[in-house]
């Protein structure tokens, strides 16, 4: 049986570590070089003590020479760093970029939300559950993995928008993420003494970088202009996202229409599930998995659809989805190596 060789850039980060955890259990993948920046020379076990099977591996420099000897390369790098290394890799190398560098089509949106960094162009957007995405991903050498918040919100809203059941110019989302969503760079706001027993808002007022990404996806599936009000919260937990997405419903839309729409959109999906009536998503239910849980209700008082979604920001929001995309690109079974069942709560 031919094993597929992959390399991982940014293996010292939280998403990089989760990639290694999933890949270590993948039956068709062999892990090649793993690279880092400031932690070059350290052992994987010193950075990710939970990765016992990879503990003795040494983190190498992030260069094209180190990463290029592979069937597929995962780039789990900070925003703005993927494009340079990707441009140096062989043209026929498959790449999944977990950063933001290649998600946005519009250069002006990129400049507005990513601090004037050069726009590197857009790659195939890697959210397999969107209509037509699987075929595009499977045919692509370069795939842009969606952002974590963008995944949670787009899965919740896209089917309703595509079916013209909601007003896409009146989307309001409030979402909370665990601390790993902010990355591994130490800051005062992420100290345990600041986070424990407290929740706080951040990037309020239309400035969060996932806004144009979400609007781009919703506009593409609906063919309509899209406007999103997005407020994010930091929750006192290490991982997970729970988002509440609301939208004004179009005249004549019923509660049954909304429920049926999501049920039909995700019927047969391995990783996205609409819960039974009365059950609501929990972050604990998806921790450590590539699953996304949804629930929908019709708020008749305000005339709005309300969709709650839960994902693991390191799973379906990053590493899990990256492997889901890689499986499609490599012609493997899409769910290979990816768990759907969470741990005990």
According to DSSP, the β-strands at 60-61 and 272-274 are: unpaired
Q: Which of 148, 171, 235, 323 is catalytic?
A: 148
- Against a cut of 0.75, is the pTM above it? yes
| Range 149-313: architecture per CATH | 2-Layer Sandwich (3.30)
Question: Confidence class of residue 178 from pLDDT cuts 50, 70 and 90?
Answer: very high
Name the residue ranges covered by the structural domains of the chain. Answer: 4-145+316-329, 149-313
% of the chain with per-residue pLDDT over 90:
88
When pLDDT is averaged across residues 112-141 and rounded to a whole number, the result is: 95
Q: 109 to each of 114, 124, 173, 212, 307, how far by Cα in Å?
A: 8, 17, 20, 7, 26
Q: Reply yes or no on whether the pLDDT at 186 is more than 90.
A: no
According to DSSP, the β-strands at 228-234 and 60-61 are: unpaired
For residue 185, the model assigns a pLDDT of 62
Helix axes 255-265, 148-162, angle to 10 degrees: 120
- Asked if the domains 4-145+316-329 and 149-313 are classified in one and the same CATH topology, the answer is no
Q: Reply yes or no on whether the pLDDT at 184 is more than 60.
A: no
Closest CA to 180 of 314, 325, 37, 318: 314
When pLDDT is averaged across residues 3-17 and rounded to a whole number, the result is: 96
For residue 37, the model assigns a pLDDT of 87
Residue 148 annotated among the catalytic residues of the structure: yes
Q: 28-46, pLDDT tens digit by residue? A: 999 999 999 889 999 999 9
Q: Reply yes or no on whether the pLDDT at 344 is more than 60.
A: no
Q: Reply yes or no on whether the pLDDT at 195 is more than 70.
A: no
Q: 322-335, pLDDT tens digit by residue? A: 999 999 999 999 99
Q: 238-296, pLDDT tens digit by residue? A: 899 999 999 999 999 999 999 999 999 999 999 999 999 999 999 999 999 999 999 99
When pLDDT is averaged across residues 7-27 and rounded to a whole number, the result is: 96
Q: Reply yes or no on whether the pLDDT at 188 is more than 60.
A: no
Phi and psi at 267, nearest 5°, equal: -60, 125
% of the chain with per-residue pLDDT over 70:
94
When pLDDT is averaged across residues 120-138 and rounded to a whole number, the result is: 97
Q: 277 to each of 173, 261, 296, 300, how far by Cα in Å?
A: 21, 14, 8, 17
Question: Confidence class of residue 115 from pLDDT cuts 50, 70 and 90?
Answer: confident
Residue 95 structure tokens: 């790449």
Q: Reply yes or no on whether the pLDDT at 187 is more than 90.
A: no
State which fold the 4-145+316-329 domain adopts: Rossmann fold (3.40.50)
Of the listed ranges 15-19, 105-109, 112-116, 169-173, the least confidently predicted one is 112-116
Question: Confidence class of residue 196 from pLDDT cuts 50, 70 and 90?
Answer: confident
């Amino acid at each position: 049986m031919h094993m597929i060789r992959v390399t991982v850039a940014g293996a010292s980060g939280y998403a990089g570590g989760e990639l290694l955890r999933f890949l270590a259990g993948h039956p068709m993948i062999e892990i090649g070089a793993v690279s880092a920046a400031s932690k070059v020379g350290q052992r994987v076990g010193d950075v990710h003590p939970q990765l016992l099977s990879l503990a003795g591996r040494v983190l190498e420099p992030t260069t094209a020479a180190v990463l290029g000897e592979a069937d597929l390369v995962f780039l789990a790098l900070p925003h703005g760093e993927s494009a340079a290394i990707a441009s140096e890799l062989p043209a026929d190398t498959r790449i999944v970029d977990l950063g933001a560098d290649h998600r946005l089509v519009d250069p002006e949106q990129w400049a507005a939300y990513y601090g004037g960094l050069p726009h590197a162009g857009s790659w195939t957007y890697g959210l397999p559950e969107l209509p037509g995405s699987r075929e595009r991903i499977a045919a692509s050498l370069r795939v842009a993995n969606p952002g974590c918040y963008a995944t949670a919100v787009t899965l919740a809203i896209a089917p309703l928008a595509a079916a013209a059941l909601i007003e896409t110019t009146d989307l309001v989302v409030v979402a909370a993420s665990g601390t790993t969503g902010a990355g591994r760079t130490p800051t005062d706001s992420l100290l345990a003494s600041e986070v424990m027993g407290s929740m706080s808002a951040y990037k309020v007022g239309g400035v969060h970088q996932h806004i144009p990404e979400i609007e781009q996806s919703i506009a593409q599936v609906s063919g309509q202009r899209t406007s999103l009000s997005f407020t994010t919260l930091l929750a006192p937990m290490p991982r997970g996202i729970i988002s509440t997405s609301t939208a004004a419903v179009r005249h004549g839309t019923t509660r049954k229409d909304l429920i049926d729409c999501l049920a039909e959109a995700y019927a047969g999906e391995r990783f996205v599930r609409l819960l039974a009536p009365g059950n609501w998503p929990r972050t604990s239910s998806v921790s450590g998995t590539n699953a996304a849980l949804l629930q929908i209700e019709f708020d008749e008082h305000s005339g709005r659809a309300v969709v709650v979604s839960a994902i693991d920001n390191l799973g379906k929001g990053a590493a899990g989805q990256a492997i889901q995309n890689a499986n499609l690109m490599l012609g493997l079974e899409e769910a290979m190596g990816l768990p759907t069942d969470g741990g005990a709560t």
